[in-house]
Structure 1
Amino acid sequence: MRKVKTDNSDLIQYLEIIKELKNHISIEEYRNEYRKLRSDNIPLIKAQKFKSAHTELRRLDRKKESLLDKFIDELNPVNQASAFASKNIDKLETYSLYRRSLLEKSDDEIVSLVIKQRTEAALEFQRSVEQSLEQLSSISSLFEAKIVAPSRPKRTM
């Protein structure tokens, strides 16, 4: 079982990026327009101005893609580093199959899966903490009742 991330700052950051991207043209529109400027007989300076005018859009898109890659790695039950380090063909193939199936999903599906996985892990952690607290309470009661630790003289050094 892989360790599931408990800090959700990356999900919050992803949502902020999506919100900010709504203030820009889509990355597809940008790429199409940029290709058009480059392929037509338009001076290069116009294409460069268009590109520099959309620097923030490109930066946000790169950050969004980077976060999605991290989410995909988090969802993949086979760790990339261990798959490559093992040099085990079956493990590498399993890693690739999981990755490929995750890449076929939409961005929203990937984020939903991450939220679901982290929620399940947090609930499991909560149950574990509650069980530990119950055990400690029981041990404390037994200790105070001196059932477990009968009175005996203090230790001396």
Structure 2
Amino acid sequence: MLPPMTTAQRRIYETTGNPPQNDALDDPTDPFPAHKQHSLSAGATKPAKYRNTKCEHDGIKFDSQKEMSRWFHLIQLKASGLIRDLRLQVPYVLTARKQRDDGTWERASKYVADFVYFDVDAGKEVVEDVKSVATRKNRTYIQKRKQMLAVHNITIKEI
């Protein structure tokens, strides 16, 4: 038996053959009401997309603990003289800002490397990005990685 319907619900049912849905909000016996299933409690934040934990050390902000750990390792390599000119969050322009035919501007496309340094043994500059297995598969990252190779002839070292 169908639950009681309003006139509008009955007309929709007669036209489509689809009965109206029961509203879980009105069922006092429902232990998991719909309006409470996906809400965040006050003060709670949404977890990061890739489950990373943002951190900070000496005023430097890192996107993950893995990235901060890599920074400490690179600091040790610099102290031992294996690398030099260590830099953080280095931007590279992939496509320059351009004006469209209608006069509006298309924003420049950039890639921001986690770490850039000069490897003394290899004798070349290294561009590093700390990536998890999941973030290495990110389409946007893959496209920017390819553009870095095409535009700047730089292969990104993924850690």
User: Which of 1 and 2 has higher RCO (CA within 8 Å, sep 6+)?
Assistant: 1
TM-score by length of 1: 0.23
TM-score by length of 2: 0.23
Which has the larger share of strand? Answer: 2
Which has the larger share of helix? Answer: 1
